[in-house]
Structure 1
Amino acid sequence: MSIVVTRIDERLIHGQVAYSWSVAYQVTEYLVVDDEAANDPTQILLLSMAVPSGKKLAILSVEDAVSHLDAQPDSMKTFIVVKSPHVLLSLIEKGIMLPSINVGGMYYKAGKQEICKTVYLDEEDKAVFRKIKDHGIACEIRTSPSDKSIDLYTKI
């Protein structure tokens, strides 16, 4: 398997993600890992409409994503997108090695603090990111590929 980008974005796939990141990293497949979206026909339809022509799309639960990734050929350049760091920690704990994590959009909700323009975290989120850090995985904040990378760990 070849994971080229792993991104946290509560919007999952949208124009910016679908185009700019796929061009910058020559993505061949989008993998949305989200238990809710995997079981929602409307979400599946909307996400499939956001993926550029010629790119593959899989929308899977955490369990199914592990099997999917384990079966991937090295030639597949996969872009993983999730809504929360909790999902990525689950993948890591199930043996999926992520080269790094890009945090693009975790938006304001009651109890969350702004750590950057597009990233708001609560104490539980911070604890999950610390566990990810313990696995030696870098986490950056970057909205688009051309933005300056900010080390998330320096903000928590």
Structure 2
Amino acid sequence: MANILLTRVDNRLIHGQVGVTWVNHLGANLILVANDEVSKDTIQQSLMEMVVPDCIATRFFSIEKTINVIEKASPKQKIFLVCKTPQDALRLVEGGVKITEINIGNMHFSEGKEQISSTVSLDEDDKKTLRKLHELGVKIEQRRVPDERVEVDLLKHI
């Protein structure tokens, strides 16, 4: 079984909070970004790798590739799995990836979304997806950084 320390939904994917703060907190040695678009975009990958310390490996896989290879990971790999959307995370879970907990970090506001905290806005599809993940037994929390208290009960918003 893959050693997934935490799965985070953050539409910014890898940035300072992910590449340094969360990695240090979790003790991760691999950040795996699971997103179809970013898996093909070497420019975005290069920009994201700039904020990650050299001692931390990064991988940029499509959802399908993640489903197919994550269980082959070495037990030495301590994986911090990062998805762009809750829909990406649901596809992973439905594909058999053993995700027990999801941290919602950042989901930008846009038209049609309800802002439920300073960093998280949800539309109806997001709410439906999070409900489905919850029904599948995935614990869902919302925190920007590890030492922040969980202030928003996402379940009452979905």
Unaligned ranges ≥5, structure 2: none
Whole-angstrom distance in 1 between the partners of 2:44 and 2:34: 12
- Give the length in aligned residue pairs: 156
Q: Secondary structure at the match of 2:146?
A: coil
Aligned-residue identity in percent: 36
Report if aligned partners of 2:141, 2:153 keep a CA contact under 8 Å in 1: yes
Which structure: greater strand fraction?
1
TM norm structure 1:
0.96
- Which residue of structure 2 lines up, in the alignment, with residue 58 of structure 1? 59
Q: Give 4+ residue runs of structure 1 displaced > 4 Å after superposition.
A: none
The offset of 1:51, in angstroms, is 1.5
Whole-angstrom distance in 1 between the partners of 2:67 and 2:53: 24
Whole-angstrom distance in 2 between the partners of 1:110 and 1:44: 27
Instruction: Work out whether 1:49 is the aligned partner of 2:50.
Output: yes
Unaligned ranges ≥5, structure 1: none
- Which residue of structure 2 lines up, in the alignment, with residue 141 of structure 1? 142
TM norm structure 2:
0.95
Instruction: Work out whether 1:154 is the aligned partner of 2:156.
Output: yes
Which amino acid in 1 is paired with 2:106? G
The offset of 1:74, in angstroms, is 2.2
- Which residue of structure 1 lines up, in the alignment, with residue 113 of structure 2? 112
Residues 63-90 of structure 1: CA distance to partner in whole angstroms, max 9, x if unpaired?
1111221111222110011110000100
| 1:23-42 mapped onto 2 (5 Å cutoff) | 23-42=24-43
Whole-angstrom distance in 2 between the partners of 1:145 and 1:154: 22
Over the residues paired in the alignment, what is the CA RMSD in angstroms? 1.0
Which amino acid in 2 is paired with 1:3? I
